[in-house]
Amino acid sequence: MDLLPLIQQILVLLHCFEEWSICYVSDQKDSVAQAIAESVVTWARSQSYVGSGSPLWLDQLIQQEAGD
């Protein structure tokens, strides 16, 4: 799979922002984002968790990660 066209398109769009940055975060430190991404793919969620309220498993994961 050639990702170069996609990367180029992303870079063009990023130049529309006044400021932007990219930060690497290991999977271990960002388990909430990883779980949300996996749930979107697995369960084909099309509505935002922010707009619809988070499910119980996500609330528990957020609390767990906040305690670490």
pLDDT value of residue 6: 93
Q: Is 2 helix (H, G, I), strand (E, B) or coil?
A: coil
Please answer whether residues 31 and 61 qualify as being in contact, where contact means their C-beta atoms are separated by less than 8 angstroms.
yes
> Is 0.75 surpassed by the pTM of this model?
no
Phi and psi for 30 in degrees, rounded to 5? -130, 50
Residues in the chain: 68
Q: Whole-angstrom Cα distance, residue 50 to residue 32?
A: 13
The 10s digit of each residue's pLDDT in 5-63 is: 999 999 999 999 999 888 888 777 788 888 888 888 887 766 666 666 778 888 898 88
Q: Return d(Cα 45, Cα 43) in angstroms, integer.
A: 5
